[in-house]
Structure 1
């Protein structure tokens, strides 16, 4: 009897997979949308699912297969997705017609993942609009100015630690993760952590469980992608309870302590406490403030929502997501930038000369003068172009919409609520149509003399439109603070383990160099 049940279940799954396989291929064919045949159950994501390729490379294969199309069909598991290739169409979807695409894809519900599922990243509709309005004042330049001393303090700790490790082969990814970990611990949660001296501190080790996915987590993610209702019925949780409870306890206990003892510290916990009381508002300085870099993504449509009361769980979810989204993104860019500087010594030397001359004119790096480092901004922009952690901008249709024909002579494509769209980011960043010799690391693309040559909506490291990355200022500032101090004090050199050229490590979301990013540091004479 058991054998018969197993045979029935296996047969049913195979039959359903083959039916879905044919259904979704016909789905694009009937709508005159170009696509590449996939594999049953896995679609076009087979290679990345089994770590033969990176997730982005599976999407990029579809992108490059049809260079004359405005958009193409991509099958993720058994879900048909439109991949948008055309920058003008991306503008329409993310800005001009944003009201038709207000939501992100929803992997987890608040029932299964209360913190992440209830974060700004996963919120939908008016609730998202209201939370974005509530939190936006927390990420203005004036608030970042108050957090910059925390970044500088952590950066100085790292620089001093490196004095005793010159000439050693250094795992840049590990170094940068510990820096961004300590910055977020301080600037977001009010914790003093030194992850280089105390390598196994709880904040760092717990944080790694958010980023280093286990085989079980990959399976859960796959189930939610292919059989979402099954995942909900089973109540599968992606993040370990220990991790979620740790962050919930930090936020709750810190808020209670500060409230009781009337403690104020200009960090994210303080801003969330203000938000809970309805006291977090824009001030007059925010409209005239200086910004920290060209890559800043601004809201260019009105997303004004209502200020409402938020529960402690809802606010804790924002701190949880701030760590999960910001930690790896910033450390990735710092890692890939240091790797690129090691194998492009001419770029590094030009950057050092700018920083050295800046240091001679200014005693310290401040929020007011960080914008003077124009070449540093170019170097970072080029790193974001080549190695953006964004990959794609996903959107879910919320109101019926008609895409223009994918090419002249084709018919329009009607999108219905619930349909998913991937707006290309990394594929456009590496398209020679927009960036000649895209594999070459050339910061001059972003110089003030050359920026006018960039086609709008072809540089999107923090997203575009109302659902851009709310923490882009924070990320850019913490990256610039550390790179400034690192390049001022050390020369970044290649070592035996340094890969050149850099190739992308197969994986899911995280951008890493195959073989790792290994560097060697040599103190400059001024240290």
Structure 2
């Protein structure tokens, strides 16, 4: 009886998988959308799902297969998806007709993550975005720079003590982003380089650790969304720790009337509706990549949020600030080690600024053009968000995918991807995309960059709300590192830099190992 049941389940599942595979292909054929067939159950994601390469290459393969199409078909597991190639169509989806594509694709059933800004939908997302927006203005971010300087100085001290050794940049930078996030968001003072066993860091490591079980969970949830509640993406022990930390910190501050210029304080003010709204000013931008805040307003009265929902936002800021930001900084360090000419140009600018102004400030971040070029080129080449996803919420008609083609209807629930990494590596927009050339973003050249082809923090109303914070976190540390050290290759440095098969963020094959030689 058991054998017969297993045979029935296997047969039914096989029929379902094959039916989905052929149905996806047939749908693309009927719509006149070009596609690569992929393979059953994996679609176009077999390479990354099976650990052969990074998902960057899955998108790249489909993107490059049809160079004259405005958009193409892409199958993510078993989910048919429209993959956008044309910047003008990306503008339609993300800005002009945003109301038709206001939601993200659900990725997890974890209580904290599903309640975060990035996963909220409809009016709840709009209300939360409006609530949090004042926390990320230039005036608020200016208060974070001293915390970043303090943590950067800890990094410098550690590197002086370990000079001459091969350094695992990934560990080093995770210590930095962990301590910055701990201080600026949670109000917790830690020095992970001296105490790598602190639970704040250990919980963060559990959140971002890559494993086969996590890959399998992610794949199953994308392929069979109804399984989400059975396959949480984050370890419950770690999410419970962050939730408990935020709630207890808020309770302690409320009880003892404690105020501190960090994100917890801003979230507490948001819960009371007392977080003052200040206009976003172009003069507050901290670099070319800074996203522009859209005019997102609540449709009714300002919603009051409970502390548990706000704890989910603090968790989101940790997750993004700890791992995604670290990945970009690590790749910047790797590129500087491989490109000593660019590093020396940056050092000259940093040295000059330090001689004139001393410690890094918010205004200093704004007035170092070559540092901005280095950051932008790193974000172009190694953007951690390789694709932006949107879900259709109202029937929409896409323009024809090519001259002579027919318009394509997109129904509510259909998925749309903008492939950020493929755009950033398209020779049409960035000649010799594999080369690290910060000068692409110089004042003399950046006007050549076509709109909607450089979008490392997304674009439109659902862009990354924390782009200023992320850019500051990156620039402040690079300033301190290049001021005090020459970043050098060692025998373990991969050259040329090749992307490893990690699922989510970008990393070099074998990691990033370098030496830091003190500048006397």
Whether the TM-score (by the shorter chain) exceeds 0.5 is yes
TM-score range, shorter chain: over 0.9
Tell me how far apart the structure 1 counterparts of residues 362 and 450 of structure 2 sit (CA, whole Å).
29
Pairing partner for 2:401 from 397, 401, 406: 406
Equivalent in 297, 309, 318 of residue 323 of structure 1: 318
Unaligned ranges ≥5, structure 1: none
1:430 aligns with 2:422: no
- Equivalent residue number for residue 131 of structure 1: 128
Deviates more, 1:421-430 or 1:294-303: 294-303
1:221, distance to aligned residue in structure 2 (A): 1.5
Alignment of 1:34-49 (within 5 A): 34-49=34-49
1:19-77 CA deviation, whole Å, 9 max, x = no partner? 11111111101111010111111111111101101112111100000000000000111
Q: Which residue of 1 aligns with 2:104?
A: 104
Distance in 1, matches of 2:324 and 2:9, equals 41
Q: Which position in structure 2 is the counterpart of 1:68?
A: 68
Select which of 452, 463, 470 maps to 2:465. 470
Count of residues in Structure 1 that have an aligned counterpart in Structure 2: 519
Match in the other structure for 2:92: 92
Q: Secondary structure at the match of 1:138?
A: helix
Partner of 1:215: 212
* Equivalent residues of 2:215, 2:503 under 8 A apart: no
Question: Which residue among 273, 286, 289 is the counterpart of 1:295?
Answer: 289
TM-aligned CA deviation for residue 304 of structure 1: 4.9
1:364: Cα distance to partner? 2.2
- 2:123 and 2:298 in contact (8 A); partners too: no
Note the 1:4-403 alignment, pairs <5 A. 4-108=4-108, 112-232=109-229, 235-283=230-278, 287=281, 289-300=283-294, 302-305=296-299, 306-403=301-398
| Alignment match of 2:448 (pick from 447, 450, 453) | 453
SS at match of 2:501: coil
Q: Distance in 1 between matches of 2:168 and 2:96?
A: 43
SS state at 1:60 partner: helix
More deviation in 146-155 or 286-295? 286-295
Task: State the Cα deviation string for residues 312-354 of structure 1 (Å, max 9, x = none).
Answer: 1110000011111221121111100000000100000000001
Residues 383, 40 of structure 1: alpha-carbon distance in 2 compared, 3 angstrom cutoff: same
Over the aligned positions, Cα root-mean-square deviation in angstroms equals 1.2
For residues 300 and 134 of structure 1, do their structure 2 counterparts lie closer, same or farther at Cα, with a shift above 3 Å needed? closer
For residue 438 of structure 2, the aligned residue among 440, 443, 447 is 443
Secondary structure, counterpart of 2:57 in structure 1:
helix
Residue aligning to 1:508 = 503
Q: Report the CA distance between 1:302 and its aligned residue.
A: 4.5
> CA shift at 1:369, angstroms?
2.4
Question: Aligned equivalents of 2:450 and 2:18: distance in 1?
Answer: 42
- Cα separation, partners in 2 of 1:288 and 1:65, compared to 1, 3 Å: closer
Q: Distance in 2 between matches of 1:276 and 1:301?
A: 21
Deviation at 1:513, TM superposition (A): 0.5
Structure 2: gaps spanning 5 or more residues: none
Shift >6 Å, 4+ stretches: none
Q: Distance in 2 between matches of 1:437 and 1:218?
A: 32
Q: Is this contact kept in 2: 1:336–1:383, CA < 8 A?
A: yes
Q: Separation in 1 of the partners of 2:237 and 2:72?
A: 41
Deviation (angstroms), 1:238: 2.2
CA distance in 2, matches of 1:400, 1:329: 33
TM-score by length of 1: 0.97
